[in-house]
Amino acid sequence: MLRTSWKKNKWMIVGLFLLVTAIVLALFSSNASLSFIDFLQALTGREGADETAFLILSGVRAPRAVAGIFCGIGLSVAGLLMQEALNNQLAAPSVMGINSGAGLFALVGSCLLHGSALLRGAFSFAGAIVSIALVLLISVYSGSRKSTMILSGVAVSAMMSAFTNLIITLRPDSVSDKAAFQLGSLQSIPMPLIVLTTICVVIGTFGALFLVPGMELFKLGDEMAMGLGVSVRSYRYLCVFLAAFLSAAAVTSCGLISFVGLIIPNLVRRMETERSRMQVLLCVVWGGALVLFADTLAKTLFYPYELPVGMILSILGAPFFILMIISRKKRIK
């Protein structure tokens, strides 16, 4: 029985182990002046603990770890929803233009409404919806929706990115670090944005679990699902809407982080091919772990210089995307 339980849940157990390891590294990885012991004493409240270590741990590293975990969760679950809804394993928030649209509108919101985390989040969500609406519109009018979906997303993403660059060029004060925003970064995120992202991602993840029955029927095909009395179109639009919501929540805090929504759902699908509910939960665990590991690497690789976490994820994601395209072509043949 123990062996059966392990075989059934091994990837969840491995993912939880990796997530805990990533959290420990994110909180306690040492730098030139403070050691692991200093941070551990600060966490446990031991008498004589270094006050600087406590301030760094509570004011910088813990919020940053929380932002990384929920950013990874949001993008991973969004990618899974989008791939299931569109029946395309190459679909992802960054590929389909959702991230770029959310980022553009978040930037507009920050220019117009300084310091309002809630309204900036609302702008970001509006941008995500506008982007995916444009992608769907282009695909429908092209006459071949599935075959042109990815190309439509790339085109919309390029257009949104161009407008983002225009705003940053004309209004350099609109974003403190251009590279960090465009590549995605977990550095110096205001606490209200972290709280907003956390709440939205939790809501969105529970929403994804609620949509699991419809996702299960997507695997049977549209005709079979409709024969069972399921409104396929409604479920598909709900999945896309929820994916946009989750992506917008992540982008609002962490910038234009790419490829998480492509890498994790495809890995999860190879771990768990049958149960959609388990796929969502695996995305939660593995998505958070991936972003935290990437952020720790970004902080320590060229210390004291720090890379945007999105740069590390792009280095990993671009080859993964190429391999996906190649394997997809071989399957078609």
pLDDT surpasses 90 at 163: no
Q: What's the pLDDT band for 7 if we cut at 50, 70, 90?
A: low
Lowest mean pLDDT among 106-110, 122-126, 259-263: 106-110
More confident residue, 58 or 94: 94
What sections of the chain are H helices per DSSP?
2-28, 36-44, 51-56, 62-86, 98-112, 117-142, 145-170, 178-183, 191-210, 212-218, 222-227, 232-254, 260-271, 276-300, 309-332
Pick left, alpha or beta for residue 185 (phi over 0 → left; psi -120 to 50 → alpha; otherwise beta). beta
Provide the residue ranges of all domains of the chain, joining segments of one domain with +: 69-332
Phi, psi angle pair for 33, to nearest 5°: -110, -25
3-state secondary structure of 113: coil
More confident residue, 305 or 268: 268
pLDDT of residue 16: 92
Count the Cβ atoms, other than its own, within 10 Å of residue 272: 19
Q: What is the pTM of this model?
A: 0.86
Rg of the chain over Cα atoms, rounded to whole angstroms, equals 20
pLDDT of residue 35: 58
Q: What tokens does 310 get?
A: 């999105």
Q: What's the pLDDT band for 18 if we cut at 50, 70, 90?
A: very high
3-state secondary structure of 99: helix
pLDDT for 44-71, tens place per residue? 666 555 666 667 777 778 888 999 999 9
List Cβ neighbours of 310 (8 Å cut-off, separation of 6 or more).
182, 183, 184, 185, 255, 256, 257, 258
pLDDT of residue 165: 82
Mean pLDDT score, 312-329: 77
Residue 319 near residue 48, CB atoms below 8 Å: no
Q: What's the pLDDT band for 41 if we cut at 50, 70, 90?
A: low
1.10.150.120, 1.10.3470.10, 3.30.70.120, 3.30.70.260: CATH of 69-332 = 1.10.3470.10
pLDDT surpasses 60 at 2: no
Lowest mean pLDDT among 77-91, 166-180, 271-285, 302-316: 166-180
Q: Return d(Cα 78, Cα 309) in angstroms, integer.
A: 19
pLDDT surpasses 60 at 99: yes
pLDDT for 193-208, tens place per residue? 888 889 999 999 999 9
Closest CA to 71 of 212, 321, 248, 240: 248
Closest CA to 284 of 69, 124, 10: 69
Mean pLDDT score, 128-135: 85
Q: Return d(Cα 189, Cα 67) in angstroms, integer.
A: 8
Residue 306 near residue 184, CB atoms below 8 Å: no
pLDDT for 228-246, tens place per residue? 666 677 777 788 889 888 9
Residue 129 near residue 281, CB atoms below 8 Å: no
pLDDT of residue 88: 78
pLDDT surpasses 70 at 28: yes
pLDDT surpasses 70 at 1: no
Q: Return d(Cα 209, Cα 150) in angstroms, integer.
A: 26
